Amino acid sequence: MDNYDVQREQAEGSREWIQINLRESLEDGKATEVMIKERVIAVFRHEGGLFAMDGMCAHQGGPISEGQVEHGCVTCPWHGWQYELDTGIQTINRQPLQETFQIRESDGKLEILI
């Protein structure tokens, strides 16, 4: 998890945009995880979109960034719970169990609102 640098960008209420400088570009279909404010955040690029969610599965803390991603959802590698990337909704019970975060890209740099 040390393939990035973190830089605070701007404040918005109690949240702020945190700039993530990845040492390698995040290609479509790939994921990584970063540590921000003592939280593990999973970052995905999928079908041209960027997504950020809690990197520890709501079930038992599995590594969400290592899950299989398809059709806008990630499947946790430990026991198969599946979440929508953009909402964090668990696809079986339709509850938003996994926290998601706004993410944007500017000049090749990723920024997460957290």
Regarding 68 and contact with ligand FES (CB under 6 A), the answer is: no
Do residues 85 and 102 make contact, with C-beta atoms less than 8 angstroms apart? no
CA pair distance 98, 73, nearest whole angstrom: 12
Regarding 99 and contact with ligand FES (CB under 6 A), the answer is: no
CA atoms within 13 A on the CB side of 24: 10
Regarding 66 and contact with ligand FES (CB under 6 A), the answer is: no
Regarding 40 and contact with ligand FES (CB under 6 A), the answer is: no
CA pair distance 34, 47, nearest whole angstrom: 21
Residue with tokens 């990197």: 55
| Amino acid, res. 82 | Q
Near ligand FES by CB under 6 A, which window of 18-26, 31-39, 58-66, 106-114?
A: 58-66
Q: Which of 72, 78, 97, 113 binds ligand FES (CB under 6 A)?
A: 78
Regarding 81 and contact with ligand FES (CB under 6 A), the answer is: yes
Q: Interface with ligand FES by CB under 6 A: which residues?
A: 57, 59-62, 76, 78-81
